[in-house]
Amino acid sequence: MNFFLETIQVLLLSLWYNVESFIHIFVSKKKKNIAGEVVLITGAGSGIGRLMAQEFAARGTVLVLWDINQDGMKETAGLAKQSGASRVHYYLCDCSDKNEVYRVADQVKREVGDVSILVNNAGIVTGKKFMDAPDSLIEKTMEVNTMAHFWTYKAFLPAMIANNHGHLVSIASSAGLIGVNGLADYCASKFAAVGFAESVGLELLATGKDGVKTTIVCPYFINTGMFNGCQTKWPRLMPILDPDYVAKKIIHAVLTDQVFLLMPKSMYLITALKNVLPMKQGIMLGQYLGAFNLMDTFKGRSTKQE
């Protein structure tokens, strides 16, 4: 195809996609049926992981829970059964350990079957300035928040590709789109998680595996205890998010094959402005929004698992 014809095609398709997006403002997208799908959630022992497990359970899925907290998983499993899960399995797994991920993944395949919806949710935060953070904690942040996604994809994506069916869900962060003072290692890990998920999603499309969907979730701070002490400068514009609201929005994004989910909605505008404003103006915007001081009152919690 020559340059002129391909350019016309791009312009016409761009127009149609914009019309389609406008229509979906008023007409909801059709939700897919996930009953019977095998859903694996990492970091399922508490917080958003637990709430997502309950939401997926209510849709008749088979749940596989991973966490380092066995008591937390047992509680999540009980709640998931009450919510309607057809089956619930849970496994102790340290997602930062590649060999353990592969070992437990093989066990899941033998005992449960192929995973068709993978939710990479486990995450940790040090809450320290870069120069104050011990090397071991920086490495652990990258291992849990980023490298674990590589290993779980390696373990479960081949079956999805073979069947041309599945869904990859990455619970990243708004800190994976915009840098935050005092969160250097966390931001780095989440930027990497976003880039990794987006790139693999493109690989799948390029190879014709359009039946394997990708959803990348970038929420602002969530009120799960992970970022205890942090305060938002403008609560109406950038509120601390309610965990139940976040879990429901994530499930809706999965059911409608939404690729990017940013929360709150103001993040769509803020991210767009960051990419088009001059650098000095972007820094000024970040300071105005509180990116320089968000972590000043950080306390966190002893178990910083999302």
DSSP code string of 58-90: TTTPEEEEEES-HHHHHHHHHHHHHHT-SEEEE
| Successive 10-residue mean pLDDT values, the chain, 306 residues | 80 79 74 96 96 96 96 96 93 96 98 98 93 95 97 98 98 94 95 98 97 97 88 90 97 97 95 89 86 84 49
Residue 106 to residue 173: CA distance in whole angstroms: 29
pLDDT of residue 3: 82
What Å distances lie between residue 279 and 3, 189, 273, 274, 283, CA to CA?
Answer: 34, 23, 11, 8, 6
Q: Contact, 137 vs 126, CB < 8 A? A: yes
pLDDT of residue 303: 41
Residue 90 to residue 41: CA distance in whole angstroms: 10
What are the start-end ranges of the H helices in the chain?
Answer: 3-26, 47-57, 70-83, 98-111, 135-142, 148-163, 184-206, 243-255, 266-276, 279-289
Catalytic site includes residue 186: yes
Which of 152, 185, 200, 147 minimizes the C-alpha distance to 44?
Answer: 152
pLDDT of residue 5: 82
Residue 143 to residue 222: CA distance in whole angstroms: 22
Q: Looking up tokens 């994506």, which residue turns up? A: 157
Q: Contact, 298 vs 128, CB < 8 A? A: no
Kindly report the number of other CB atoms within 10 A of residue 163's CB atom.
13
Which of 254, 249, 224, 200 minimizes the C-alpha distance to 124?
Answer: 224
pLDDT of residue 304: 41
Residue 152 to residue 105: CA distance in whole angstroms: 8
pLDDT of residue 305: 43
pLDDT of residue 194: 98
pTM summary value: 0.92
Which listed residue (186, 220, 245, 268) is catalytic? Answer: 186
